[in-house]
Amino acid sequence: MKFTESVIRDMTRVCLKHQGVNLAQGFPDFPAPAEIKEAAIQAIRSDFNQYAITWGTPSLRQAIADKFSWYNGVTVDPDTEITVCCGSTEAMIASLMAIVNPGEEVIVFEPFYENYGPDTILCGSQPRFITLHEPDWHFDGKELTDAFNNKTKAIVLNTPNNPTGKVFSREELQFIADLCLKWGVVAVTDEIYEHILYDGAEHISIASLPGMRDQTITINSISKTYSLTGWRVGWAIAPAHLTASIRKVHDFLTVGAPHPLQEAAAAALQIDRNYYQTLAKAYQERRDFLLRAVEEAGFLAYCPKGAYYIMTDVGHFGFSDDVTFAFYLVEKVGVATVPGSSFYSVPSRGGTKIRFCFPKRMETLRQASERLKKLKTEPVRK
Ligand SMILES: Cc1ncc(COP(=O)(O)O)c(C=O)c1O
């Protein structure tokens, strides 16, 4: 096996053992919206309890198409261009397996959400990593241009980005789109944080740029927008010829996502549109609070423009590496984080970084903040 167990999910288990505050794995510790939960209960009562159509129940595919039109500005056919999967996790691996042949190359921006590494390995491809440079996490245009070649099949994008909080600008996306169009490369874009934006940042879907609709797979889910990470409902939106392949892989991977939860997801996507502003505002408050807390505790923090993570540099604390420091934080300080190396192809590249997440109640964040103060008041024992 060429990859290890998920470090992020392992940190959650270590955190439970030490009764730490879990700012490692990105899931909310507050309730999901009541009306969506009610829709799920109703769906079970109404007996949506058998397999749905493999590629998704019609009501959800219609709701996805409607929302993609009003929020992302792209019109799609729910009958031929949408595949509902078990979370965006399955949507990503099903998409890559559907379009990438062994030996072909996939471009991935680094640091990256840790699943993308194993995803590229599982589809037999050769990943090519392009560095996002701090503090603003920009990429070098020449480096990206040089990465495209005849073997390149896909480029994986994630905006707003985990772990950096980067929101790709229109200019950056146009630069990427031009390369995709030139080389016939598919953009596979994970946009699950599309509503979690700060300081007036704007989310742009690469599928909405001229010419890209037919060369993009847009991946999304209900996990982050509606605080429903445990329901495992996500989807891939792609032109019909790509969707046909994605549906075949999806069918044999999982058959389908849970039927009653798909029905409830359709209700979620039709929630009052004010919900999204309220969500972004609540996250802005949490981001501002945690950013201040980690800076006061001595971390060098990169202010996120979107998503719900703060990437930090901790080299000056003097630990041998990020994993040692993350274990110190959970065992001695009582706060679980994710070591930066899990977001890099070469672990040492993330060797001085630590990621915090903040989809948590303010109370939880206050508790974490109190504990982090120990780093200032008690001598750090390496
Ligand atoms: C960028 C990114 N994509 C996908 C996922 C997983 O999403 P899902 O619950 O829809 O499978 C996460 C979870 O943290 C994520 O950060």
Can you tell me the mean pLDDT for 118-144?
96
Distance 89 CA to ligand 1 centre (A): 6
Q: How far is residue 139's CA from residue 299's CA, in Å, rounded to a whole number?
A: 24
Give yes or no for residue 54 having a pLDDT over 70. yes
Give yes or no for residue 1 having a pLDDT over 60. no
Can you tell me the mean pLDDT for 237-257?
97
Selection from 210, 216, 190, 211 nearest residue 85 by Cα: 190
Amino acid symbol at 221: S
Residue 14: pLDDT band with limits 50, 70, 90: confident
CA distances from 357 to 32, 104, 165 (A): 18, 34, 11
Distance 357 CA to ligand 1 centre (A): 13
Give yes or no for residue 382 having a pLDDT over 80. no
Distance 192 CA to ligand 1 centre (A): 7
Selection from 325, 318, 310, 322 nearest residue 349 by Cα: 322
Average pLDDT score, the chain: 96
Give pLDDT tens digits for 101-116.
999 999 999 999 999 9
Question: 278-317 burial by CB neighbour count: b if 16+ within 10 A, else e?
Answer: ebeeebeebbebbbebbeebebbbbebbbbbbbbbbbeeb
Q: How far is residue 165's CA from residue 199's CA, in Å, rounded to a whole number?
A: 12
- The pLDDT of residue 342 is 93
Ligand 1 pocket mutation pick from 224, 226, 311, 343 by most atoms within 8 angstroms of CB: 224
Distance 261 CA to ligand 1 centre (A): 17
Give pLDDT tens digits for 136-187.
999 999 999 999 999 999 999 999 999 999 999 999 999 999 999 999 999 9
Distance 188 CA to ligand 1 centre (A): 14
Contact 245, 98 (CB under 8 A): yes
Q: How far is residue 56's CA from residue 64's CA, in Å, rounded to a whole number?
A: 11
Give the residues surrounding ligand 1 with Cβ less than 6 Å away.
26, 87-89, 113, 158, 162, 190, 192, 221, 223, 229, 234
Give pLDDT tens digits for 272-285.
999 999 999 999 99
| Atom nearest to 193 CA in ligand 1 | 1
Selection from 48, 39, 184, 8 nearest residue 105 by Cα: 184
